[in-house]
Structure 1
Amino acid sequence: MSRIAVSAFYKFVELPDFAALRPALLAAAQAHGIRGTILLAPEGINGTIAGEAHALAQMMGFLRSLTGLGDLESKESHAEQMPFKRLKVRLKKEIVTMGVPGLRPAEMAGAYVEPKDWNALISNQDVLVIDTRNSFEFQAGTFTNAVDPGTNSFGEFPAYVARTLHSEKDRPIAMFCTGGIRCEKATSYLRAQGFSKVYHLKGGILKYLETIPREQSLWQGSCFVFDEREGLGHGLAIEKPEG
């Protein structure tokens, strides 16, 4: 078993006093030897952090003790070595940047789809399956029949919708991303634009790879992650992207 545990998490929740949380998060993470990045914004929290397994468990317990974060979910994996060089707790306008004011993902997100139900949904030929990640992530790996919007940043997603999906407002649309945060915000954007049948993979690709056996999987390739591991495969084992 690897010594270093890694936790990826996010939650859309209204945090009007988000800036006041930063000192306590910094102190708790430093006390437990945690490294990685935590983002705080009025719309919620987003982070990937790592540390010794017992220390990371204590840090996640601290996060869940904060108001509004009691049900904070996380995707757990491991690394042979610490994948982060330092600790950062940053204050942001958005926990994932789309640049569209007024979105309320905590209230407007599309329907969650559990990993065990994902294969059936995306195997339906009537369903449009969209990868909401950047094109280089798509090239490393994606789901069977998924569409690449051709974006280089998440902020380009609204332009893709305006350019490509204007005639698809009544079609079932299923979206996914690495950990769930981008596709959850993307579904809230689509619903705000009048799309009626919008779904997203709960827990993202990471939860799917963690829970669905390889022999039952519709995933192809490696899931790019933004740390020194670079890519993960089934069982969240390290699997470097090709090329």
Structure 2
Amino acid sequence: MALLHNRVSNKELKERLMQETEPRTTISFYMYHPIANPQAFRDELWKGLHALKVFGRIYVAHEGINAQISVPVSNFDALRQYLYSYEWMNGMRLNIAVEDDGKSFWVLRIKVREKIVADGIDDPNFSMERKGKYLKAKEVNELMQNPDVLVIDMRNHYEYEVGHFDNAIEIPSDTFREQLPMAVDMMKGREDKPVIMYCTGGIRCEKASAYMLHRGFKNVFHIEGGIINYVHQVKEQGLEQKFIGKNFVFDNRLGERVTEDVIAKCHQCGQPADTHTNCANDACHLLFIQCDACKATYEGCCSTACQEVIHLPEEAQKELRKGKDNGAHIFSKSRERLRPRLDDR
């Protein structure tokens, strides 16, 4: 049987990545399209992408594909040709990263999921066939001049915190499945108002636009290709930049700088800062914002308790990590949930 999974340790893979001399391009893409056999498609896709030296994180489900990857520059055209060889992905938008050092991923992981974005929707009448109208950057800027327009951010708190569109409404939750009904409730009574929905690369706001229409909203738009595509179009066309700060991304970079504005604060000292980091204590690995001064003071940790842990012998640290699976929980930390951990400093 052909190898369809990585068998090399993360440490070695990271070392290999750092030793690469050819630059890489970081790309994200998604497509809502019925896939009859996600597991078979997953295995076929792994072989095709592995041959092109693609790294990244890809989810496949009956409803489609969601991917964040990097590829050697010399293989970019071959990658596009391979993806477009599937009729349903032919012409699919490939979002190229705004700010990229090529070190976003070090391994290829493709997983079969129930959905490509967890939405909590169990209404059998809901369909992605009816969704909001796409907006290009110029159209976004023009529509935002309308004082009645509602601009809704469909990202999590830690994403909104470091960067967002001017006057955007935050849906205060750390999970998309909670945000969907919350957005409907928050906008109740304004069903006739024009609504612009946005997210990082377009996948969440596209589904959110369909859900808002399903729940009775009349005039729903979403930004084509999300923040990433918007920023590219603004630069290419010399438009006014309406997005302020950093665009949070779910890879090793943890952010792309869009404007020089720093709109967030260090979670430890409260000074202006917008650099996300994971706590240096691997038994914690909490995602939080830390300024350079606090990084030095706390040695990259979120609290003095974690700082004490990193100075323990490695065997003692391993004992503390046993049975702990931080996983996606490191990305589920609103400011309110962070505070109890940071207050012990």
Counterpart in the other structure of 1:199: 221
Residue among 176, 181, 188 paired with 1:154: 176
Q: Secondary structure at the match of 1:8?
A: strand
Higher strand share: 1
Select the residue among 45, 56, 74 that pairs with 1:25. 45
Deviates more, 1:112-121 or 1:155-164: 155-164
1:58–1:185 distance in 2 versus 1, CA, 3 Å: same
Deviates more, 1:75-84 or 1:35-44: 75-84
Q: Which of 129, 147, 167 is 1:145 aligned to?
A: 167
The residue identity in structure 2 corresponding to 1:186 is A
Tell which structure's C-alpha radius of gyration is larger: 2
Q: Secondary structure at the match of 1:216?
A: coil
- Structure-2 separation of matches of 1:143 and 1:68: 32
**What is the identity, as a one-letter code, of the residue corresponding to 1:185?**
K
Give the letter for the 2:241 counterpart: S
Residue 217 of structure 1 is aligned with which of 241, 244, 253? 241
Match of 1:241 in 2: 274
Partner of 1:5: 25
CA distance 1:47–1:94, change in 2 (3 Å):
same
Equivalent in the alignment of 1:171: 193
Distance in 1, matches of 2:50 and 2:139, equals 39
Query: Contact 2:184–2:215 at 8 Å: present in 1 too?
Result: no
Work out the CA distance in 1 between the residues paired with 2:219 and 2:140.
15
Deviation at 1:162, TM superposition (A): 4.2
Deviation at 1:227, TM superposition (A): 0.8
- Equivalent in the alignment of 1:48: 68
Amino acid at match of 1:226: F
Contact 1:43 1:95 in 2 (8 A): yes
1:100 aligns with 2:133: no
**1:113 alignment counterpart:** 135
Shift of 1:61: 1.8
Per the TM alignment, residue 215 of structure 1 is displaced from its structure 2 partner at its CA by 6.6
Q: Secondary structure at the match of 1:88?
A: strand
Select 2:109's aligned residue among 84, 88, 92.
88
Identity over the aligned pairs, expressed in percent? 30
After superposition, the Cα gap between the structure-2 partners of 1:10 and 1:160, relative to the gap in structure 1 and judged at 3 Å, is same
Point out where structure 1 has 5 or more consecutive residues left out of the alignment: none
Q: CA deviation at 1:85?
A: 2.6
Q: What is the rounded CA distance, in whole Å, between the counterparts of 1:79 and 1:142 in structure 2? A: 20
Q: Aligned pairs, how many? A: 237
Confirm whether residue 75 of structure 1 aligns to residue 95 of structure 2: yes
Amino acid corresponding to residue 190 of structure 1 in structure 2? M
Q: Judge conservation of contact 1:135–1:151 (CA < 8 Å) in 2.
A: yes
Distance in structure 1 (CA, Å) of the matches to 2:232 and 2:253? 16
Q: Give TM-score scaled by structure 2 length.
A: 0.65
2:193 aligned counterpart, secondary structure: coil
Give, in angstroms, the shift of residue 179 of structure 1. Answer: 0.3
Whether the 8 Å CA contact 2:70–2:102 is kept in 1: the answer is: no
Q: Hey, what does 1:182 align to over in structure 2?
A: 204
- Secondary structure in structure 1 of the residue aligned to 2:164: strand
**Contact 2:138 / 2:239 at 8 angstroms: preserved in 1?**
no
More moved, 186-195 vs 95-104: 95-104
Separation in 1, partners of 2:193, 2:101: 44
Counterpart contact for 1:180–1:201, Cα < 8 Å: yes
How far apart in 1 are the matches of 2:34 and 2:244? 36
Please report the RMSD computed on the Cα atoms of aligned residues, expressed in angstroms: 1.9
RCO higher in 1 or 2 (8 Å CA, sep ≥ 6)?
A: 1
**Cα separation, 2, equivalents of 1:109 and 1:9:** 18
C-alpha displacement of 1:150: 0.4
In structure 2, list runs of 5 or more residues that go unmatched: 1-21, 260-272, 276-288, 290-345
2: CA distance, partners of 1:31 / 1:80: 22
Letter matched to residue 6 of structure 1: T
How big is the shift at 1:168?
A: 1.6
Distance 1:161 1:81 in 2: 35
Larger displacement relative to structure 2 (164-173 or 41-50): 164-173
Q: Distance in 2 between matches of 1:122 and 1:44?
A: 31
